[in-house]
Amino acid sequence: MVMSMYALLRNHPEPSMEQITAALAGNLCRCTGYRPILDGCKTFCKEPFCCQSKENGNCCLDQDDKLKGEKISTKLFSADEFQPLDPTQEFIFPPELMTMAENQPRRTLVFQGERTTWISPASLKELLELKAKYPKAPLVVGNTSVGPEMKFKRVHHPVIISPARILDLNVVRYTDNGLTLGAACSLAVVKDALTNTVSDLPGDKTKIFRVLLQQLKTLGGQQIRNISSLGGNIMSRKSTSDLNPILAVGNCTLNLASREGTQKISLSDIFANGVGNNTLMPEEVLVSVHIPHSRKGEFVSAFRQAQRQENALPIANAGMRVLFAEGTDIILDFGIFYGGIGSTTVCVKQTCQALIGRHWNEQMLDEACRLVLKEVSLPGSAPGGKVEYRRTLIVSFLFKFYLEVLQSLNRMDPHLYPEIAEKYGSVLQDFQPQIPQSEQIYQEVNPEQLPRDPVGRPIMHQAGIKHATGEALYCDDIRAVDEELFLAVITSSRAHAKIVSIDTSEALKAPGVFDIITAQDVPATNEFYYYSDPEIIFAKDKVICVGQIVCGVVADSDVHAKQAAAKVKIEYEDLEPVILTVEEAIKHNSFFEPQRRLEQGNVDEAFETVDQILEGEIHIGGQEHFYMETQCSLVVPKGEDKEMDVYVSTQHPALIQEMVASCLGVPANRIMCHVKRIGGAFGGKVGKAGLLASVAAVAANKTGRAVRFILDRGDDMLITGGRHPLVAKYKVGFMNNGRIVAADAKYYINGGCTPDDSILVAEVVVLKMDNAYKIPNLRCCGRACKTNLPSNTAFRGFGFPQSGLITESWITAIAAKSGLSPEKAAALVHIYVDGSVLLTHGGIEMGQGIHTKMIQDACQTLLQRLEPIISKNPKGTWNDWVKEAFEQSINLSATGYFRGYEANMDWEKGEGHPFTYFLFGAACSEVEIDCLTGNHKNIRTDIVMDIGCSINPAVDIGQIEGAFVQGIGLYTMEELKYSPEGVLYTRGPDQYKIPSICDLPERFSVSLLSSSQNPYAIYSSKGIGEAGLFLGCSVFFAIWDAVAAVRKERGLTGTFTLNSPLTPERIRMACADQFTEMSTKDEPESFVPWAISI
C-alpha cells in the first residue's frame, strides 16, 4: 500500500481522494481495518475529503457541538506533526538510462534459464518467425495469465515470447468508424484511450466504449491494469474475462498475422460455435483489435457479479446488445454473451435469433428468459459451483438489460414508450463507490496528568515508521546464512490413505538437491500427545488429510527445492471411511473427547410451559487466517552440543522451543527461539508454527546446515487450517411477548484430523453462547468433530464469533415472530547512562501494538522516579536527567509482573469462574442490498466499546476497527471451498476474498466509553483485540433485515434461515422471485457437486 501511494504521489503530488482510493484498490490489509491507512493518505490531499461543502464549511462528522464541555477528543493524530512532502527531493529516473533506451538500436533479447528460454523480438516479422518455429510458445506481456498457471498449476513452457516492444502491437489509432488498439497495449493504456474517445465523440457513438470503461473500473487493481494486456485478455479465452463478452457482443474485429499472411475475424466468431471452435491457428498472432462505434438505435450493457465488488474475478458476467429498427422497438439484431458459465465466454445465439422481429416488451422478456435457460447448459457438477445462483444471474442480468433499454427508449420518446414501473426504479441504480468517512471518539486523559506521562494518550505504534518504510524486519528478511538450504514439503493428495511407497529417486537427481527429509529422520518425538490423538510432524504409515506433510526436500534454492518436491512420487492405498463434513462425523460418531456440556434450570419442564417453540439449524463456514506474513522459520545449527537458533514467526516461542527440543531429543536450553515481530497471526501461529519449525529443525539436524522454510500462500492455506466451521441445532421456547424461557442447543465444530485447540474452542462456544442474554433454563453441548481435513485451530474470538452468531440468529427469528425488535506477562525496563532505553517483555508483537503499550507503561513508572530531577532542571535534556539519576544512584530499571487471570471451570459439576471480567460493546450497521444480484453495500456502522481505561486510544481503536473488518469478512464474504475428496480449492487471494477498502462502511464511527475501573488488568485496561470481530455480525443482521423486507414485500412471510458467510449467492437466493423459480433445481442425488459444505 505504501508503494501504491508513493507511485501516486510521484505522478500527482496533490492527489484527489478518488485517486487515492483508486491507487489503494486491490491492496489487502484487513487487519488494520484500512481506516488508519486512508487517514494517513488523506493528509496528502489538499481538497476537502468529506462534505465540507456545507455553508459553514464544517464536516458532517464534526463532534464539537455535541461534545462541548466533555473531556472528549476526536483526533488520534495531528497532520501538522508530519514532515511535508517535497517533490523536489525525490529521486529522478537516471537520464543515462533514458538516453540509452532512446538511442540503442532495437535488437532481439534472449535470456536463457535452466528450463526456460525467454525471447523478446524487436519486430513483427521476427515475432511471426518465432511463432512459426515455436507454435506452442505463449506470448507474454504482463504475465498475469501465464505466470499464475506456471506457478500454481505447474505448467512448464520451454520457450516464452515477449512481444511487448513491438510497435505494431502497441498502436493506438482513432479511425472514422472506431478505435484500433494494439494487442500488447496495457489495460491502463486501453482505459486512457477509451476515456479520450468518450470525451471527444457524441454519446451515440461511444456506448461500447463506455461499457468497457465500466468493466475496467473493477478489473483488477491499478497495478494489474498497468501490465495486463488487451491481447492477453482476449487470447486466453478465460471464462472470467470481463472484457470478452462486451468485445464479442460489440462486433469487435481481431487483426491476425502469421508468416503466411494476415486475416480479420470477428471476436464473436471465436465464441459463437462453442468451446471446440478452433478459429485461430497456433502460429497466428493477434496484432490489434478494432472496436467499432455504436450506432443509432443500438443499446449496449455489461453486467458482472463477484464475491467482492472490486478486484475479484466474476462469478458470472454478461455483455448484451440490441439494435432496433429505426424509430421502433422492433428487434433488428440481438446479442448476448455470458462469462463464468462455461469454460470460456458463451454465446446464446439461438435465443437471440429467435427474438429478432419481436417488440421490446414483457412477453419478449419472458420468452427470452425461458429460451436462454434452455440454451445455456450448466450442470449441477459444473466447476466453480454456485450453479443455481449462476442460473439465476443469467436471467437477472437479462431483466436488468430489459429495464435499462426500456428506460432509454422512454427518454427518447416518452409518448411512445412508457416509463418503467416505480418499483423497478432502483434496479437501474448500481452501487457507486464512496470515499469512506470515519470518526473516532475517546476520553482525554486527566488534565492533572503530567504531559510527559504517555499512558492513556494516542501514541504512534512503536514500529510504525519502520512498517511504512519497509525497514521492519520479519523472519524471511533475515540475511542469508552461509551454506543455507531451502526446504519445500510434499503433502498428501489423499484425505485418508495408507502410504504404500515414497519414490524420491527423480527428486534426488534434480539440480541443487541436497537431501530428502522423512519421518525416519526425526531423532526423537514425531507425535505430540496433548490429547488422545497426536499432533504429527511427518506422516509415517498413513495420511489423514489432504495437505498433511509426508516428507521434504532441501536444496540450494527455493526454486530448486520446489521443483524437486514436484518429482517425489507417493503411492497410496485409500482407506475408509473418508469423513469430511460435520454431518458425516455425526453419522460415524467421530469426535474428539471430551465433549462439553452445561445445563441450568429445568429445561424439559420449561418447554412444557412456553407459548411457542422455535427449532432450527444454522451453518457457519470456516475462515482462513490470511495473515500477511505466511508461516516461516529459519533454523541455524550452532555447531556444538546440538544447539540451534530458531527464528520463527510465532505467537508462542516457549511452545516452539519445547516442540523443537522434543523432536530433536535435546534439552530445551539447547534451543534458542527468536521472535522480533510477526506479520499477523490471529491465533494461527501457535501449534501449527511449532510443527512447521520442527520440520525445519529436523532438516537442519540431518544436514548440519541452516535451513530456511517459508510457506507460500497456497501451501500455507492448504496445510494449516483456520477457524472452525460450525453447525448448530437449536430448540428455543418463548412466550408470545418475546420472553425466552428455555433453550436447548447442540454445537458441532469441524475440528479436522487432529485435536489442536478444538476442545478449547468447543468450551468457549458453550461458555459464551448466552452472550448478553439471561436464559433461565438452558442446556447446551459442544462437540469437536474428527474429520479428514487439516486440523482447525485458534482464531481471533476463539469460538465466540460462531456461537454468538447462532444466538443472535434465533433472537432475531423470535423477535420477528413476536413482532419485536431484536436487542441486539512479565516485563523489564532499563535506562542506560547514555539515555537509551531497553525494554524486554514476554509478549509477541504481531501488529497489535504491545511494544508500544509496554513502552507507555514503562515510561510512566520511570518518569515518576525522574520527576524530582526534572523539576530541578526543567530545561535539561533527557541525557542530562539520566546522568544525574545515575549520580544519585536512582534505580532506572523497572520490573513488572502480571500473573495472569485466575479462571477455573469444573466441567463435571458444570460450575466455575471461566472469565475474569466482561467486555461490553454494541454496533449498529446500515446496508443496502441488490435483490437481483445479491450484492450489498455497507452504508454506515457505529460502534461503542467499553475497554476499561485505554492505555493507548489510537492502538485500541485501530484494533477494534481491524477486528470489525475481519468480522465483516467472516460473516459476509470469506468462503472456504473443498472438493468432495477433501481438497481445498480456495488457496489464495484469487479464490478466497477478504475485505478490501471498497467493503468499508461509507460512514464508520468508533467511540470508546468513558473510562471504567477494571481491577483485574494492567491500568484497568481490557483486552479488545477479539471482541470487535463479533460486532461484524451487525452487518450480517442488517442484511438479514433487508432480505426479510424483500421477502415480506413478495408475500413470503414464513421463518427463514441464513447461513454464514452471507455471500452474494446466499443473499440473492434468499430474495426469492420469479427468476429464482425459473432456475432448474437439480436433485442432490443426480450429480456430484463441485464443492461441499464442511
Q: Which of the residues are catalytic?
A: 1026
CB 577 within 8 A of CB 783: no
**Helix residue ranges per DSSP H, 153-229:** 187-200, 207-216, 222-227
DSSP 3-state assignment of 260?
Answer: coil
How far apart, in whole angstroms, are the C-alpha atoms of residue 237 and residue 274? 12
How far apart, in whole angstroms, are the C-alpha atoms of residue 298 and residue 866? 80
Decide: residue 491, CB within 10 A, 0-12 exposed, 13-18 middle, 19+ buried.
buried
C-alpha cell at 933: 444480484
Phi, psi of 284, deg, nearest 5: -80, 150
C-alpha cell at 496: 485418508
Q: How far is CA 499 from the centre of its chain?
A: 35
- Does residue 752 come out as left (phi exceeding 0), alpha (psi in the -120 to 50 range) or beta? left
- Does residue 89 come out as left (phi exceeding 0), alpha (psi in the -120 to 50 range) or beta? alpha
How far apart, in whole angstroms, are the C-alpha atoms of residue 124 and residue 116? 22
**Helix residue ranges per DSSP H, 457-536:** 464-469, 505-509
Please give the single-letter amino acid code of residue 263: Q
Spell out the residues 6+ positions from residue 325 whose beta carbon is closer than 8 angstroms to its own. 297, 331, 332
For 98-251, where are the E strands, in sequence order? 109-112, 117-120, 159-161, 172-175, 178-182
CB 272 within 8 A of CB 212: no
> What is the per-residue DSSP string for 410-444?
HHH-TTTSPPPPGGGGGGG-PPPP---EEEEEEEP
As a whole number of Å, the CA-based R_g of the chain is 31
Cα torsion at 871, 877, 878, 883 (round to 10°)? -80
Cα–Cα–Cα angle for 789, 795, 799, nearest 5°?
A: 90
C-alpha cell at 905: 471451570
How far apart, in whole angstroms, are the C-alpha atoms of residue 43 and residue 49? 10
CA distances 995 to 28, 954, 963, 975, Å, are 8, 22, 12, 12
CB 722 within 8 A of CB 621: no
C-alpha cell at 138: 505463449
CB 493 within 8 A of CB 544: no
Other C-beta atoms closer than 10 Å to the C-beta of 292 total 15
Phi, psi of 603, deg, nearest 5: -65, -50
Phi, psi of 591, deg, nearest 5: -140, 155
What does the H/E/C string look like for 688-718? HHHHHHHHHHHHHHHHCCCEEEECCHHHHHH
HSE toward the beta carbon, residue 206, CA cutoff 13 A = 15
How far apart, in whole angstroms, are the C-alpha atoms of residue 629 and residue 476? 9
How far apart, in whole angstroms, are the C-alpha atoms of residue 742 and residue 734? 7
CB 890 within 8 A of CB 879: no
